[in-house]
Amino acid sequence: MSTLLSPYDTKVIAIDGPSASGKGTIAARIASILNRDYLDSGALYRLTALFAKQRKIDWANEEQIAQLAATLPVIFIGGKILLNDLDVTHTIRSEEVGLNASKIAAYPLVRAALLQRQRDFLTTKGLVADGRDMASVVFPNAELKIFLTASAQVRAKRRALQLDLAINGEEFKQILVDIEKRDAADRTRAVAPLQPVADAHILDTSSLNIDESVQKILDWYQIIKK
């Protein structure tokens, strides 16, 4: 498979971090401010997991899942995600799909199948890309590399707030358990584990809101542009 880097592959801001770290919202906001395209790489892993489930593929069948990843019939249009012409924008955000995505993301063949697909999102317009391995694997020449962190407790609280749940009930506890499970899987897998590259700017968002986080990244961006 060809895995060419594009000639303008420095025009990328790579934002990596664990689940529920706010990276999607932050990355999309920065893309809009800088008038760049936005890549939500996690969506590709989620779509692959959903498609594999729909096709009733055995979770252990790495080759078949990679084949699906390579041929995903997906269209990103006007903020919506269509899989086989069906709107799955909300379906792919469930915890179940997230956990399955994390499982199949550990397969080297799946990661290889999605590599070029992710790089193809980069045009002369430039890109803000979020995920787990944007800086380490997909866009190693990115001009700015950000690694977001926040404690699992803080991230679970944010997710509970999004879902309008109390932060002391059973559902909250389950969210926390799921987040910790997914962190462990993403951090310890053999291929492209979630970890900051040496030249990443580490941003702990535990006590920052979205606006403050966006501003901090834009400040770093201004510094490298000087």
What residue ranges bind ligand DC (CB under 6 A)? 19, 41-42, 45-46, 98, 101-102, 105, 131-133, 182, 186
Nearest CA-CA partner of 130 in 115, 116, 114, 146: 146
DSSP-derived letter for residue 212 is H
CB closer to ligand DC, 210 vs 223 = 210
Rounded least distance, CB 133 to ligand DC, Å = 5
3-state secondary structure 74-98: EEEECCEEEECCEECCCHHHCHHHH
Question: Measuring CA to CA, how many Å separate 96 from each of 53, 183, 194, 202?
Answer: 11, 15, 20, 29
Our CB check for ligand DC shows the closer of 105 and 214 to be: 105
Nearer to ligand DC, 102 or 205 (CB): 102
User: CB of 72 within 8 A of CB of 110?
Assistant: no
Q: How many Å apart are CA 218 and CA 216, to the nearest integer?
A: 5
CA distance 52 to 69: 9
Query: Closer CB to ligand DC, residue 101 or residue 226?
Result: 101
| Smallest separation, CB 96 to ligand DC (Å) | 12
Q: Rounded to the nearest whole angstrom, what is the least distance from the CB of residue 130 to ligand DC in the complex?
A: 7
Strands 12-16 and 144-149, bridge-based pairing: parallel
Smaller CB separation from ligand DC, 151 or 223: 151
Which one, 92 or 217, has the nearer CB to ligand DC?
92
Question: What is the smallest separation between the CB atom of 225 and ligand DC, expressed in angstroms?
Answer: 25
CA distance 66 to 52: 10
